[in-house]
A = this chain, B = another copy of it.
Amino acid sequence: MRKDQFSALSCTNLFKGIQDDEMDKLIETAPPTIRTFHKDAVMSFQGDEYNELMIILAGELSAEILNPNGKKIIIETLNKSSAVATGVLFAEDNTLPVTLKVVKEVEIALFTKKTVLKFCQMNERFLLNYMQDMGDKVIFLAEKIRLFRFKSINQKVAGYLLNLSIKQGADSVRMTYSLEHLADLFGIARPSLSRVLSEFYDQAILKKEGRIMHILDKQELEYMLEGE
């Protein structure tokens, strides 16, 4: 395995906190298959079985959904050091819900399910990382569903922040998601989210300092949710 491949691998969530010599040990035990795909190639189709964990070493993929009525929707873009569909790999129904298409020539590492299980048993940190990756995904999707009931972007932001404030027991909350992740959580475009946040800053409803969001006017946020 080339040095840049090793380094891309070590930057994924799954190998977080694992020293190079420990990683060497894991990879020597069961080296991944490395494959390259050219631009516009379809790596796998929606409905294909997913039996080997895919980690992107270089390049870019898009995950697309084809609706039963034939419409194509791009769900997300996957970049270097992303582990693809960690949950699907172990689900009883392990068919990919998306079509994976190459945006920029990609190089990927493939680990069999058996290898992933072996890594989990060999290295407690890898096990914890894998569990956390799936746990985070569950939390993200559950929160996305909870926020569906709010119609406007204002309400989504208010509903999210008030809930965070309840959970963290404070009016100044630590933001766990990036702006990009938040937009995904709300099911909206990133510029639309930025616009609403700017308005809230201007109206002194919110104030952001680094990762901390101060809720200055809680009543105004609660007012937005009335009738919901």
Contact = CB atoms under 8 A, between A and B. Distances in A.
Nearest to A165: B68
Given A88-B135, A138-B134, A166 B68 contact: yes
Contacts of A121: 120-121, 124, 127
A212 interface: no
B131 A124 contact: no
A59 interface: no
Contact of A145 (B66, B145, B166, B225): B145
Q: Report the copy number of this chain in the oligomer.
A: 2
Interface string A65-92: 1111100000000000000000111111
A69 B222 contact: yes
A97 interface: yes
A162 B70 CA distance: 11
A124 B113 CA distance: 12
Interface in A121-170: 121, 124, 127-128, 130-132, 134-139, 141-146, 148, 158-159, 162-163, 166-169
**Chain B CB within 10 Å, residue with most, of A89, A93, A176:** A93
A67 B228 contact: yes
Interface of A: 46-47, 65-69, 87-95, 97, 117, 120-121, 124, 127-128, 130-132, 134-139, 141-146, 148, 158-159, 162-163, 166-169, 176, 221-222, 225-226, 228
21 contacts: A47-B168, A47-B169, A65-B146, A67-B159, A67-B228, A68-B163, A68-B225, A69-B228, A87-B135, A92-B135, A92-B136, A92-B176, A93-B167, A97-B139, A120-B120, A120-B127, A127-B127, A138-B138, A141-B142, A145-B145, A145-B148
